[in-house]
Amino acid sequence: MKKLLIPVMFVVLFISSLPVYALKLKIDPELIDPGKEPYQFEVKIEDAADLSAFQFDLTYDRTVITIDSVILGDFLGSTGRTVWDPLLETIDNDHGKLTFGAFSIGDAEGPSGDGILALITYTPSGPGTVGAVTFDGDRTYVTATQVSGALPRELEDAKVTPICEITVTPGAYGSISPSDDDGVVAVEKAGNETFTITPEECYQIAEVRVNGNPLDEPVSSYTFNNVTCDGDETYSIAADFKIKQFEITSGVSGD
């Protein structure tokens, strides 16, 4: 039993010592509205470490959008390294494919953290068109200055689709999720979106308002169903929170 335990412990320790890669390339926004200007989206990197170069291939439905231009973001050269010119750039609207990449040289470390790799401008075929924009995982690479070979990474695709917006307004001492820094959540047209209302410790939900109207009872979750915005429809959810009230009962006991 002891002979078996030693190699098992070694394997466990070895696996636990392996690095956890959170590196991600994503298309932002995840929902690209073909009816809303400016007709642009970004390719972003998250959790980079000492970035030296990248390349990505995107595929898209040419009957939904065509790519007009690609501009290198400022993240790759943000630490003072020289970005090599010319860049790798091929726009093939006949086949719905974009290839773009860049690499840097210099003594400084590469950038770390989150940033924009590229800004892409496109032309939609119409405001109601729907189609996917996806990474080609076999032709998308990220490298670091002190690491040989391509790094493991996650890829997050996007969808071209008409969207509606829901305004999210949490009061003090609580939160509503999902939400973003602008307090607006994009929802695919005719889609559903569920929000979770969470009070801080020692607080409770006092009131929830949907589209400006208070609900009969405060709820911790609310779902908008079949969200449409063909006319003047607007959507919003807000919540107020209050401190919990505790009732203390005192009594006297004795002989």
* Segment 123-134, tens digit of pLDDT: 999 999 999 999
Task: Assign domain 21-160 one CATH number from 3.40.30.10, 2.60.40.680, 3.40.50.300, 2.40.110.10.
Answer: 2.60.40.680
Residues of the chain with CATH 2.10.70: 163-243
**Closest residue by Cα to residue 191 from 162, 219, 213, 158:** 162
The secondary structure of the chain in percent helix, strand, coil, rounded to multiples of 5, reads 5, 50, 40
Q: Residue 248: its pLDDT value, please?
A: 74
Q: Are 175 and 153 spatial neighbours (Cβ–Cβ below 8 Å)?
A: no
pTM for this structure?
0.81
Mean pLDDT within 160-184: 95
pLDDT at residue 253 in the model: 60
The CATH number given to 163-243 is: 2.10.70
Contacts 24+ apart (CB under 8 A), 86-94: 88/55, 91/67, 93/62, 93/66, 93/67, 94/62
Please check whether residue 64 is in contact with residue 35, taking contact to mean a CB–CB distance below 8 angstroms: no
pLDDT at 222: 99
CB neighbours of 72 closer than 8 A, spacing ≥ 6?
Answer: 83, 87, 102, 117, 118
CA distances from 180 to 166, 170, 176, 184, 192 (A): 11, 12, 10, 6, 17
Q: What's the pLDDT band for 17 if we cut at 50, 70, 90? A: very low
With 50 as the cut, is the pLDDT of residue 14 above it? no
Mean pLDDT of 85-103: 93
Of the given ranges (12-26, 86-100, 125-139), which has the lowest mean pLDDT?
12-26
Query: φ and ψ at 137, to 5 degrees?
Result: -60, -25
Mean pLDDT of the chain: 90
pLDDT bucket at 16, cuts 50 / 70 / 90: very low
Residues of the chain with CATH 2.60.40.680: 21-160
The pLDDT tens digits of the residues spanning 207-234 come to: 999 999 999 999 999 999 999 988 778 9
pLDDT at 230: 80
Task: Tell me the average pLDDT across 177-198.
Answer: 95
Mean pLDDT, residues 4-13 taken together: 39
